């Protein structure tokens, strides 16, 4: 084969990153080329991420070193099945975003801003891929900053005055998160003299640093920093403002990939660097996050019920869904971790679909408020059908993927005899049902049938919504596919031994 298989992951980063520069240059020669260019580049990345996942599953983890050195001296890129799954989520969502944006952005933004938009989406994809496959903590920070800066700009690109102010608020909070992450990295480096994940774990154990205050401080800073980025309750305050004003495809991409990637990094760092025993017994990160997640699920759902702006409602729903993911991690068993990560995968599909559908409705009718959705089932039947499919998946009705991951979560909390969390999940499903069925009820049975004439969104917008909505059902039945990528890693992370 022309390409060495070990070099696949680095291409996942380089293609979107260099593609962004290519897009910046090519727009000088031909306007409106960036949509096609980013479509091609992201299709290529998506194909490569599938190849990487296939390679990882058949012949083991990929470890790629730069500069011809061996880790910990070289920059290492590690791809195991879980990071392969994350790159699939990221590249597929950004590909769908670009397809969706073709018509959407043309209406919302001027030609000049339109080309900037695609450059930023490419940068964001490159940064996200870098963030999830980095094998050392400092490169993770650099990836985090690339994705953060491009996401601040993407939220502000909507150019209404609220979007700019909320992007500034997001920027201030997000940069505190990054600074905390960097400071935590500093504490780890000062104690161990290394930055590579695997090497950090070995050195912490060898040097017997489990009771060192500096390591405690690094845990606190890194967990807090990533919680801000991942919108984990109570550090979620930037999210509803930013999402209710940003463009719908950006909401979908942020809610489906960015906050997920931050939670993924939280799981990866705490479990590989510190190890399960440290974060369970010495610094009770897991227990704290578990209770916060329990509160987040209920509070997020209650806030979502009280909103009438649908995008804002979906943002608060994301707060509660991030709670599910963190709860799975906080339960602290292998089953719980698999359930949490499975919900991470499913949530990115469902929430992206919902944001896309809401964006399509706003594109056609300009309606963003719950009480204006009357007769929408007659006006835009296909979009509303896909919206309802994703909404019932969110509520957790079989045979959708939301049901599977919630079932796994309840099972995990019941098998570790934490009944209160099983109860929280069930109660919150009811709360989800309240705010999603309210919309479905309004759209189909809320009157307004007479004046409704059918006016469907263009195909470039319907296809991404449809693909995601159908995947909700497909992965509800074929949930073995994501689980086959999640379970080996969950097992490995939970059994990492501290005694080297």
CA separation for the pair 114, 249 (Å, rounded): 13
We find the least distance from the C-beta atom of residue 189 to another protein, in angstroms, to be 7
Distances (CA, A) of 467 to 214, 265, 475: 48, 27, 12
Which is nearer to another protein, 147 or 357 (by Cβ)? Answer: 147
We find the least distance from the C-beta atom of residue 187 to another protein, in angstroms, to be 9
- Give the helix/strand (H/E) hosting 396: none
Of 59-67, 88-96, 168-176, 342-350, which segment contacts another protein by CB under 8 A? 168-176
**DSSP per-residue letters across 450-498:** TT----PPPHHHHHHHHHHHHHHHHHHH-THHHHHHHHHHHHHHHH--S
Total number of residues that touch another protein (CB under 8 A): 25
Binds another protein by CB under 8 A, chosen from 14, 164, 414, 470: 164
We find the least distance from the C-beta atom of residue 183 to another protein, in angstroms, to be 5
CA separation for the pair 65, 281 (Å, rounded): 34
CA separation for the pair 45, 126 (Å, rounded): 10
Which is nearer to another protein, 261 or 360 (by Cβ)? Answer: 261
Which is nearer to another protein, 154 or 322 (by Cβ)? Answer: 154
Per-residue burial over 370-393, b if 16 or more Cβ lie within 10 Å, else e, is bebbbbbbbbbebbbebbbbbbbb
We find the least distance from the C-beta atom of residue 140 to another protein, in angstroms, to be 12
Picking from 257, 468, 485, the residue whose alpha carbon sits closest to that of residue 383 is 468
Q: Which of residues 301-360 bind another protein (CB under 8 A)?
A: none
We find the least distance from the C-beta atom of residue 472 to another protein, in angstroms, to be 35
Which is nearer to another protein, 176 or 298 (by Cβ)? Answer: 176
We find the least distance from the C-beta atom of residue 223 to another protein, in angstroms, to be 17
CA separation for the pair 240, 319 (Å, rounded): 9
Note whether 165 binds another protein by CB under 8 A. Answer: yes
Of 161-169, 230-238, 288-296, 316-324, which segment contacts another protein by CB under 8 A? 161-169
**DSSP per-residue letters across 267-297:** HHHIIIII-HHIIIIIS-HHHHHHHHHHHHH
Q: Which of residues 171-230 bind another protein (CB under 8 A)?
A: 171-172, 175-176, 179, 182-183, 186, 189-190
Residues 297 and 425 sit within 8 Å (Cβ to Cβ): yes
We find the least distance from the C-beta atom of residue 72 to another protein, in angstroms, to be 11
We find the least distance from the C-beta atom of residue 158 to another protein, in angstroms, to be 11
Which is nearer to another protein, 166 or 255 (by Cβ)? Answer: 166
We find the least distance from the C-beta atom of residue 156 to another protein, in angstroms, to be 6
We find the least distance from the C-beta atom of residue 409 to another protein, in angstroms, to be 36
We find the least distance from the C-beta atom of residue 219 to another protein, in angstroms, to be 17
Q: Which of residues 385-444 bind another protein (CB under 8 A)?
A: none
We find the least distance from the C-beta atom of residue 349 to another protein, in angstroms, to be 30
CA separation for the pair 372, 378 (Å, rounded): 13
Picking from 166, 201, 344, 371, the residue whose alpha carbon sits closest to that of residue 274 is 201
Distances (CA, A) of 156 to 150, 247, 259, 459: 10, 9, 18, 27
Which is nearer to another protein, 171 or 314 (by Cβ)? Answer: 171
Which is nearer to another protein, 163 or 290 (by Cβ)? Answer: 163
Which is nearer to another protein, 157 or 358 (by Cβ)? Answer: 157
Give Cβ neighbours of residue 365 (< 8 Å, ≥ 6 apart): 372, 376, 379, 380, 455
Which is nearer to another protein, 167 or 263 (by Cβ)? Answer: 167
Binds another protein by CB under 8 A, chosen from 18, 60, 113, 162: 162
Which is nearer to another protein, 146 or 493 (by Cβ)? Answer: 146
CA separation for the pair 179, 158 (Å, rounded): 27
Distances (CA, A) of 305 to 182, 317, 320: 37, 9, 12
**DSSP per-residue letters across 297-361:** HHHHHHHHHT--BHHHHHHHHHHHHHHHHHHHHHH-SHHHHHHHHHHHHHHHHHHHHHHHHHHHH
Binds another protein by CB under 8 A, chosen from 4, 68, 161, 480: 161
Which is nearer to another protein, 214 or 473 (by Cβ)? Answer: 214
DSSP 258: I
Helices (H), 60-196: 81-108, 111-133, 137-156, 161-192
Which is nearer to another protein, 179 or 497 (by Cβ)? Answer: 179
Query: What x-and-dash track marks residues 88-117 binding another protein by CB under 8 A?
Result: ------------------------------
Backbone angles phi, psi at 134, to 5 degrees: -65, 140
Query: What x-and-dash track marks residues 129-158 binding another protein by CB under 8 A?
Result: ---------x--xx--x--xx--xx--x--
Could you list the residues that contact another protein (CB under 8 A)? Answer: 138, 141-142, 145, 148-149, 152-153, 156, 161-162, 164-165, 167-168, 171-172, 175-176, 179, 182-183, 186, 189-190
């Amino acid at each position: 084969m022309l390409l060495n298989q070990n070099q696949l992951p680095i291409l996942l980063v380089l293609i979107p990153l260099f593609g962004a520069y290519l897009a910046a240059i090519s727009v000088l020669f031909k306007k409106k080329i960036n949509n096609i260019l980013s479509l091609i580049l992201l299709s290529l990345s998506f194909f490569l991420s599938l190849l990487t996942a296939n390679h990882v599953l058949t012949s083991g983890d990929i470890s790629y070193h730069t500069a011809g050195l061996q880790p910990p001296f070289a920059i290492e890129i590690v791809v195991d099945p879980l990071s392969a799954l994350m790159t699939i989520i990221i590249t597929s969502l950004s590909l769908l975003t670009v397809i969706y944006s073709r018509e959407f952005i043309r209406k919302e933004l001027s030609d000049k801003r339109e080309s900037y938009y695609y450059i930023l989406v490419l940068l964001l994809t490159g940064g996200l891929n870098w963030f999830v496959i980095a094998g050392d903590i400092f490169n993770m920070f650099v990836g985090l900053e690339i994705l953060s800066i491009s996401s601040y700009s993407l939220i502000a690109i909507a150019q209404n005055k609220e979007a700019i102010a909320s992007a500034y608020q997001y920027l201030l909070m997000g940069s505190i998160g990054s600074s905390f992450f960097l400071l935590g990295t500093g504490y780890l480096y000062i104690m161990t003299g290394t930055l590579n994940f695997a090497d950090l774990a070995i050195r912490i154990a060898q040097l017997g640093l489990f009771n060192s205050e500096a390591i405690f401080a690094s845990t606190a800073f890194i967990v807090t920093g990533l919680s801000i980025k991942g919108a984990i309750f109570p550090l979620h305050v930037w999210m509803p403002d930013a999402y209710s004003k940003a463009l719908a495809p950006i909401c979908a991409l942020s809610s489906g990939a960015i906050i997920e990637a931050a939670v993924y990094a939280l799981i990866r760092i705490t479990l590989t660097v510190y190890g399960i025993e440290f974060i369970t017994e010495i610094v009770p990160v897991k227990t704290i996050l578990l209770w916060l997640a329990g509160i987040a699920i209920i509070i997020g759902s209650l806030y979502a019920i009280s909103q009438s702006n649908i995008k804002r409602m979906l943002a608060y729903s994301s707060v509660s869904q991030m709670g599910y993911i963190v709860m799975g991690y906080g339960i602290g068993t292998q089953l719980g971790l698999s359930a949490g990560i499975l919900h991470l995968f499913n949530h990115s599909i469902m929430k992206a679909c919902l944001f896309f559908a809401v964006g399509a409705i706003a594109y056609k009718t300009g309606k963003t408020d719950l009480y204006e959705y009357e007769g929408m089932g007659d006006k835009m039947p296909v979009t509303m059908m896909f919206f309802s499919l994703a909404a019932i998946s969110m509520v957790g009705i079989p045979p959708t993927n939301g049901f599977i991951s919630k079932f796994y979560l309840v099972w995990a909390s019941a098998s570790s005899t934490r009944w209160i969390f099983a109860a929280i999940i069930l109660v919150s499903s009811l709360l989800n049902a309240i705010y999603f069925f309210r919309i479905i009820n309004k759209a189909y049975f809320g009157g307004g049938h007479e004046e409704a004439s059918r006016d469907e969104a263009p195909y470039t917008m319907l296809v991404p919504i449809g693909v995601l909505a159908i995947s909700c059902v497909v992965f509800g039945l074929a949930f073995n596919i994501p689980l086959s990528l999640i379970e080996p890693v969950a097992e490995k992370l939970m059994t990492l031994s501290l005694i080297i």
